[in-house]
Amino acid sequence: MPIPRALLAAPLVLSLLGLGTASLPSEPHSTPAASYLPRLVVQGGAPAAALLARNSAYPPYDFYSSAGSGIRPDDHFRAGSITKTFVATVVLQLADEGRLRLSDPVDRYLPGLIRGNGNDGRRISLSALLTHTSGLSDYTDVPGAADGAGPSARVRSGTGAVRAAVARNPAPTRGIYSYSNTNYAVLGLVVQRVTGHTYATEIRHRILTPLHLDGTSLPGARTGLPAPHSRGYHRDRPEEALRDVTALDPRFAGAAGELISTLTDLNRFYTALLSGRLLPPARLRELLDTRSAQGAYGLGIYPQRLSCGITVWGHDGRIQGSFARTVATRDGGHTLTFRINTDALSDEALETGLVEAEFCPAPPPAGQPRNSQSP
């Protein structure tokens, strides 16, 4: 990938944009990924950007950096589709407890909900939902899904989301990977049917409380963000100015994307998940099995093969006013979460470059060990 021309102006950009950094006092460290934050602002059009990188290998570090103004290290922000990894983890825990089987059809738990217009819940397995191979259309493609206007104004619940999707023709053929938020809306309803509790309650009980993720929440109908938080910005069309969308009714996102979190909490969650603290080995292997989705997606998590041969795992989340992504090595020992306070990232190549810079740094001088990373 060619080096963006803005790289040549990086020293000036750093001073103008107020790049902030912090690292563990015991091990001063910087990360090459931080050099991409000013570019997310200048080239990507974000008001502000931030990252938190953690590595337990040599040299160990815990490094925060930001660019632009209005973002702080402990800010709460909307994590969007990163919610899906949390939901998938709960479903796999329930499978391990024998309370459901991934091969079960949706109709076993939600009889009659998915019917008509080429959709049939008797022929869609829970596994197909997890891997986005169900053939269900994405309810967020229905006009007005995010703002309650138009034909999808009823999308304020998981059931409403599924019905909006079923009213459309299925997007792909079943068995072919096609990302659809509807799949996780259905899984949220399945978790409630199996446990008698909402998916939000199960996530809190099974993940947030045990891992002490005190900055993470599922807001339900609450439109505000917990303090501290930055503002969130959105534009409907590329030529329009950004507008403030910090206050947002997250019910349209539901089990597909309502999560609020922090940089620290997301790193801690993916470290715990990939190191085996939340799932036994067999279930963790299922989580990372991408064969059903033709290599594109596991179960609520997806891989990215980098130029240096490392495969990293994680998820991104885009919701009005926020974009975030967490990426980690297979053992969870090296994690990176970065975010911007808008969903309008105009240069997605910067996202790839940032991840490559963090996990594929230049080789160290002769005689110095390279960071240990697991493929």
Query: Does residue 150 surpass a pLDDT of 50?
Result: no
For residues 263 and 63, the answer to whether their CB atoms sit within 8 Å is: no
pLDDT at residue 146 greater than cutoff 90: no
Q: Give backbone dihedrals phi and psi of 311, rounded to 5 degrees, phi first.
A: -105, 125
Band the pLDDT of 356: cuts 50, 70, 90. very high
Which tens digits make up the pLDDT trace of 92-133? 999 999 999 999 999 999 999 999 888 999 999 999 999 999
CA atoms within 13 A on the CB side of 47: 19
Question: Can you tell me the distance from the alpha carbon of 75 to that of 70, in angstroms, rounded to the nearest whole number?
Answer: 10
Is the pLDDT confidence value at 335 over 60?
yes
Compute the distance between CA of residue 354 and CA of residue 147 in angstroms, rounded to an integer.
Answer: 32
Catalytic positions, written as ranges: 81
Domain spans of the chain, in order of start: 1-79+322-329+342-375, 83-218+244-267+279-302
State the SS3 of 146-205: CCCCHHHCCCCCHHHHHHHHHCCCCCCCCCCCCCCHHHHHHHHHHHHHHHCCCHHHHHHH
Q: Please report, rounded to a whole number, the percentage of residues in the chain having pLDDT higher than 70.
A: 83
Q: Is residue 314 pLDDT above 60, yes or no?
A: yes
SS3 category, 218: coil
pLDDT at 172: 58
Q: Mind listing the pLDDT tens digit for each residue in 264-308?
A: 999 999 999 999 999 999 999 999 999 999 999 999 999 999 999
pLDDT band for position 159 (cuts 50, 70, 90): confident
Percent of the chain with pLDDT over 90: 69
Res 142: pLDDT: 78
At 60 the pLDDT is 81
pLDDT at 7 over 50: no
Task: Kindly tell me the burial class for residue 10, based on how many C-beta atoms sit within 10 Å of its own C-beta (0-12, 13-18, 19 or more).
Answer: middle
Ordered DSSP codes for 219-257:
-TT--S-PSSB---EE-SSTTSPPEE--S--GGGTGGGT
In Å, what is the CA distance from 314 to each residue of 119, 190, 238, 243, 350? Answer: 30, 23, 28, 29, 17
**Domain 83-218+244-267+279-302, CATH:** 3.40.710.10
Lowest mean pLDDT among 4-18, 70-84, 278-292, 330-344: 4-18
Q: Which segments within 70-130 are labelled E, that is strand? A: 77-78, 115-116, 119-120
Read off the pLDDT of residues 32-61 as tens digits, 9 standing for 90 and up. 899 999 999 988 889 999 999 999 887 788
Question: Is 0.85 topped by the overall pTM?
Answer: yes
253 contacts 145 by C-beta, under 8 angstroms: no
pLDDT digit string, tens, across residues 169-217? 665 577 899 999 999 999 999 999 999 999 999 999 999 999 999 999 9
Band of pLDDT at residue 145, cut at 50, 70 and 90? low
